[in-house]
Amino acid sequence: MIEDWQKLDSEKVLRILNEVNLHLEPIPFSPESTTIRQQKLPFYREYTLLELTDLSTVPGARKYAIYKPGDVNVINWTNQAIYETNEKTPILLDENTIVSYVKFFFNYVRGRHGRFLIIETIDDVRWQIEPPAQGRKVMQEMLAPVELESQDADGTFNLDAFMVFKDSLFKTKIHVKPDGLVSMSKEDLKIEGMPILQDTAA
């Protein structure tokens, strides 16, 4: 994801919370203690991504939502919020936006056993124990950015990516239908048993 967040002023925070709080569980966020950051999503014309942080509790509570005035889709770490948004609005997928969409999807979707985290450089790995210099060099030379490899006649995008799942690094094909439906194939295990911090969704 492009981390291009913009912090909203208190007036906008109050206006947005009046809508979003209707969808937040178990308790609504307090306008006095909540900050909201907003990020444009290049594959949606009308929706933005909201990050809401309520610091009235310790630790602070954080939620994300795909939002436009009048419509709130709170991210619950399944693909539900993304796919439901895709059904409501024309999703703009092309060679310029497809990589951003794939990174967004895997960043905010968690499976039963955890997230598949896209890794483009060794600095994307959250190490529990730093690997030796030679290990870092070998891994960095293996890694590559997410790349659009081809597009099928039916409009499906096919991308190559490196991903971490649990403690393993693998290379995979990611397939994205024109309506935004995501699937994976040809998972090729590269390294397992890596000393990395286990992922948390929030």
- Tens of pLDDT, residue by residue over 110-162, are 877 778 999 999 888 888 888 878 878 888 889 999 999 999 999 999 999 99
The predicted-structure confidence for 59-99, as pLDDT tens digits, reads as follows 889 999 999 999 999 999 999 999 999 999 989 999 999 99
pLDDT of residue 137: 87
Cα separation of 34 and 7, whole Å?
11
| pLDDT at 2 exceeding the cut of 60 | no
| pLDDT at 198 exceeding the cut of 80 | no
Does the predicted model carry a pTM greater than 0.85?
A: yes
**Paired strand residues for 142:** none
Mean of pLDDT values over 162-173: 93
SS (H, E, C) 152-200: CCCCCEEEEEEEEECCEEEEEEEEECCCCCEEEEEEEEEECCCCECCCC
Band of residue 200 on the pLDDT scale cut at 50, 70, 90: low
pLDDT of residue 11: 94
pLDDT of residue 128: 80
pLDDT of residue 13: 95
